[in-house]
Structure 1
């Protein structure tokens, strides 16, 4: 049994507020921090190389029997997201048969793009690859670009059609979209509840600290990423780092869409870890307004929504 709690961090600007406490105060004793693209973190958590990590929503749907979610911690948006883009030389409706490059870095974004093609009856040739600059899509009709590359790249200079996938989802479904979640391996909860509780408490404190320092985070991001300050502020305004009931509804609907497409065997209801679970008393959810119940009675997505709406 590894005594160190291993935590995963996405290597994108969008998680800076969540990990601000780590950046400010350093990594506490008994914890390690591993930074990588979402798809890589998905695999590390699945293989037991991490205990807690930011993960793609799609990865949770595939591994929900082995993972539990941290309440009120996610990366979602109700409309545009600015950092998950389909870029193309022709309109979306004309992409049937087109060859597109598909970023290998996010399972949620890739599955979301496939959903739009499926819904519109489009059959595209998708080549999973590195997509960081327009040159990476040379010879193709377009492709999926995500993360800082989408936010910072000069995509509109080469591609006349640029679609924000979260905005498309909102238009198609009327719902918010949740790209990222934070998950914990169930076996880690059972084997090391005290250490895990301390790590989760620090993670939530880190997020709370970041939420109070957004102006400073925006200033730093503008300098380090070479973006206009107003662009950075606009970007963070798009993002929601909680999981309000509307976002849970969007997440559950996304799971059902993935089930209809045959990508997953059954749409799971999100199950959340609880601060009152045995050994997790050190966790502090004061930043949260969502309900929690004992771990042995894990809260499903549907009941979570009902209780949250009732203010319980």
Structure 2
């Protein structure tokens, strides 16, 4: 029996269009769902063959090649990567960061430092359900948890919008990658076709996700259509490179890394 292709994927709504078209390959593909911060380790340990990883981890590793034409990105408001603050943003002195997203943690530090001139004391955030009783000024939440949080109770900062206002560029949160030198025939086309099938099926996906998250179908469809984008073209790569430059200036990633696209 041929070995199944093992794909690591984040469990959030924003990734569902990227894997919707893979449902027909259950006899040859295994999907492993995990928070983004853990997927690079699984890939490095050969527990999976391909993974969607945080963009910051691509630059920190130097051991990956990016699958072309695909990303999880935003052009402005993203909705699912937000700061929830009890005080005005400029008054934040302590901030807890959702450990499940390494890219969003780096983006928070960049926006706080370079746009707001803030250097708060950062702590990791584990309890993603109730931030009201925490002894901190602000919390970074990502994914479905950010979508479900009541914005009216806090001052919010959408980091996708903040990045776009600061740079005028899209922000790339995650990319599909393989290990450099790990040749998987047809993987680029397989994942590109899956993405295109998912984009065509956004309405059906929004219905499924609205039931899972207890959000309206309209909100889920708007999120998957307007807030999240799935291409990796010239503008996204420029945004990715700009993010890397800001990350290196703050010591969040090593210098000398380049964007390498997978050839398979």
Same-fold status (TM-score > 0.5): yes
Tell me the distance in 1 between the aligned counterparts of 2:218 and 2:190: 30
State the Cα deviation string for residues 70-93 of structure 1 (Å, max 9, x = none).
000101111010000001011221
Alpha carbons 1:102, 1:131 under 8 Å: kept:
no
Tell me the distance in 1 between the aligned counterparts of 2:129 and 2:74: 24
What is the aligned length? 261
State the Cα deviation string for residues 272-302 of structure 1 (Å, max 9, x = none).
012xxxxx4xxxxxxxxxxxxxxxxxxxxxx
Query: What CA RMSD, in Å, does the superposition of the two structures yield over aligned residues?
Result: 1.8
Tell me the distance in 2 between the aligned counterparts of 1:16 and 1:105: 18
Residue number among 125, 129, 136 corresponding to 2:125 in the alignment = 129
Task: Give 4+ residue runs of structure 1 displaced > 4 Å after superposition.
Answer: none
Residue number among 232, 237, 247 corresponding to 2:220 in the alignment = 232
- Once the two structures are TM-superposed, the CA of residue 4 in structure 1 deviates from its matched residue by 3.9
Partner residue in 2 for 1:118: 113
Cα separation, partners in 2 of 1:201 and 1:136, compared to 1, 3 Å = farther
1:72 counterpart SS class: coil
Tell me the distance in 2 between the aligned counterparts of 1:242 and 1:59: 19
Partner residue in 2 for 1:27: 26
State the Cα deviation string for residues 176-196 of structure 1 (Å, max 9, x = none).
10001010112422xxxxxx2
Decide which structure has the larger Cα Rg and report it: 1
Partner residue in 1 for 2:198: 210
Cα separation, partners in 2 of 1:79 and 1:267, compared to 1, 3 Å = farther
Partner residue in 2 for 1:58: 56
State the Cα deviation string for residues 84-120 of structure 1 (Å, max 9, x = none).
000101122111xx22221001110000001122213
Alpha carbons 2:82, 2:159 under 8 Å: kept:
yes
Tell me the distance in 1 between the aligned counterparts of 2:131 and 2:246: 33
2:71 counterpart SS class: strand
- Once the two structures are TM-superposed, the CA of residue 157 in structure 1 deviates from its matched residue by 3.8
Matched, 1:108 2:103: yes
Tell me the distance in 2 between the aligned counterparts of 1:137 and 1:244: 43
* Ranges in structure 2 where 5+ consecutive residues have no aligned partner: none
Tell me the distance in 2 between the aligned counterparts of 1:102 and 1:143: 6
Matched, 1:176 2:170: yes
Residue number among 90, 94, 103 corresponding to 1:93 in the alignment = 90
Tell me the distance in 1 between the aligned counterparts of 2:135 and 2:220: 31
Q: Point out the more displaced range, 106-115 or 198-207.
A: 198-207
TM-score normalised by structure 2 residue count: 0.92
2:38 counterpart SS class: helix
State the Cα deviation string for residues 50-79 of structure 1 (Å, max 9, x = none).
221000000001122x11000001011110
TM-score normalised by structure 1 residue count: 0.79
Matched, 1:164 2:154: no
1:87 counterpart SS class: strand
Alpha carbons 2:69, 2:192 under 8 Å: kept:
no
State the Cα deviation string for residues 186-233 of structure 1 (Å, max 9, x = none).
2422xxxxxx22444433322221111111111111122111122112
Matched, 1:266 2:249: no
* Ranges in structure 1 where 5+ consecutive residues have no aligned partner: 190-195, 275-279, 281-312
Q: Which has the higher contact order (CA 8 A, sep 6+)?
A: 2
